[in-house]
Amino acid sequence: MLDINLLGPIIGCQTALKYMGKSNGGNGGIVINTASIAGFLPFAEIPVYVASKHGVVGLTKSYGMPFHFERDEVIFNALCPSFSNTSLVESSNKTLNPEADFSKRPNLMSPEYVAKGAMKLLEDKINGSTLVITHDGYMYVGIQEELKNVTL
């Protein structure tokens, strides 16, 4: 799970900088990492998945800092959907206890609805942004104000 969910985006970001980064002769570009609402919230039933998605959110926000953009003009974003009607959610009932079967949630989103979120990221071009997608809409989630002075 960590290889796919976290190491994959790490390698993807490094490869994007290698081929798209202006410091390497590229033209800049946009990277959209697939995270999850689990990148912001805890879920007792899937702690390793949650850890991997928290990592993708942190990776995206870190590559989205001015330090990287000023050098390479590559924009990094993370798409963070809530529960979507995918094979991963459908298979959750095989690995979790019956009470935690995510496939039975009444508010599963369609893949097409999530894809509209990806289009929003491409249109808005907000570097380092994390777009949370729920059945209620699309919302950018940033750094908590009280933490900005600690980290920046």
- Give catalytic residue positions: 49
DSSP summary character for residue 41? S
> Which residue type, as a one-letter code, is found at position 65?
M
Q: Please list, in sequence order, all residues whose beta carbon lies within 8 angstroms of the beta carbon of residue 113, skipping any fewer than 6 positions away.
A: 84, 133, 135
Distance (Å, whole) CA 20 – CA 80: 24
Distance (Å, whole) CA 18 – CA 142: 27
